Amino acid sequence: MLQVASLVLPLFGLVLLGYITGKLKKIPLEGLAWLNFFILYIALPALFFRLLAQTPLEEFANGSFLLGTTLGTLLIFLLCFGIARLFRHADIQSATIQGFAGAYGNIGYMGPPLAIAAFGPQAGVPVALVFCLDNAMHFTLAPTLMALGNEQHQSVINVIAGILRRIFTHPFILATLAGIGAAWLNLSLPVAMDQLLLSASNAAAPCALFAMGVTAALRPLKRVPFELTYLVPVKLILHPLLIYVLVSSIPGTDPTWIHAAVLLAALPSATNVFVIAQQYHVWEERASSAVVVSTLFSVVTVTIYLYLATNGYL
């Protein structure tokens, strides 16, 4: 347990430092803009590219694994969406945000540093691939369902164009495709360029986790909506359990890939859930609460999972 604590505490400690700093220094949330830009467009893409460019090409062909992880996340989304529609009588747009609160994890900011720290650099490959497919699915579901729930319906062409634009302009997805291309070409970067990417990728984890803490501090928890009584357990417990069942049943799957996939599913609701809610002006305050509350509880649930995984109980 001490070994797991020494692994988790420095990472969650960065979130705590960001939270404390955000409470003490009343700098507006807009002050994070350049740091978030650096994380999103430079540091994490550099990390994904370096990991994938150094990976043997045959490791990218695990279609069953990617199908299992994507299917599991989709099923969790549909479960939360269905509960919102059938039992909470929510409209389509509100139900969509609730679906994301239960299925859209913080796999961009928290996934790479936690997975690599726990399971080694080889965990970066499944993290990057799962990230790409999950986000492609989320980027498809969000505009499609929001358009269906909007009284002023958009044209099908505009919706499809928006989906494709969000998928193929996302820096993580572009970096993943570039990394796979570099692996296919067996490309070796000049030493100076590789060192630059290494410096940027080393900054990804501390910057991302610190920014998460500041963001949580500057979005105070005003109230805990009833929906979180089931959305948070679904996100932190049911989602990783389902992914574990689906992925571990695939013959020949590398244990590192299994653990990385389950860890990604166990992460709290992504900040993007609030961003999407804010973009469409629906369920905003409760989406913010879902992010904050699930992040707090994930300190316990993620630590328990890492303890079980690293000590051979799974």
- Which pLDDT score is estimated for 290? 94
The residues pairing with 269 across neighbouring beta strands, listed in sequence order, are 105
Could you tell me if 113 and 7 are in contact, meaning their C-beta atoms sit under 8 angstroms apart? no
Q: Are 15 and 106 in contact (CB under 8 A)?
A: no
Per-residue confidence (pLDDT) for residue 54, from 0 to 100: 86
- Note whether 244 and 264 are within 8 A (CB): no
Q: How many CB atoms lie within 10 A of CB 142?
A: 24
- Report how far residue 4's alpha carbon sits from residue 10's, in angstroms, rounded to the nearest whole number: 11
pLDDT, one tens digit per residue, over 25-35 is 878 888 889 99
State residue 277's pLDDT score. Answer: 92
pLDDT of residue 312: 82
Structure tokens at 11: 């990472």
Q: Output the pLDDT for position 1.
A: 67
Q: What is the pTM of this model?
A: 0.89
Among candidate residues 138, 103, 125, 109, the one with its CA nearest the CA of residue 240: 103
Say if CB 146 and CB 123 are below 8 A apart: no
User: Any bridge partners for residue 105, and if so which?
Assistant: 269
N-terminal to C-terminal alpha carbon distance within the chain = 15
Low-confidence ranges of the chain (pLDDT < 70): 1, 151-154
Domains along the chain with CATH numbers: 2-310 (1.20.1530.20)
Classified as helix, coil or strand, 269 is strand
Helices (H), the chain: 2-24, 33-38, 44-53, 63-86, 92-103, 111-119, 124-149, 156-168, 171-185, 191-202, 204-218, 228-233, 239-248, 255-266, 271-280, 284-310
DSSP letter, residue 122: G
Cβ atoms of 270 and 108 within 8 Å: the answer is yes
For 64-80, write each residue's pLDDT tens digit.
999 999 999 999 999 99
Residues listed for the chain: 314
User: At which residue do the structure tokens 């009588």 appear?
Assistant: 89
Which of 15, 3, 6, 4 shows the shortest CA–CA distance to 294? 15
Could you tell me if 253 and 247 are in contact, meaning their C-beta atoms sit under 8 angstroms apart? Answer: yes
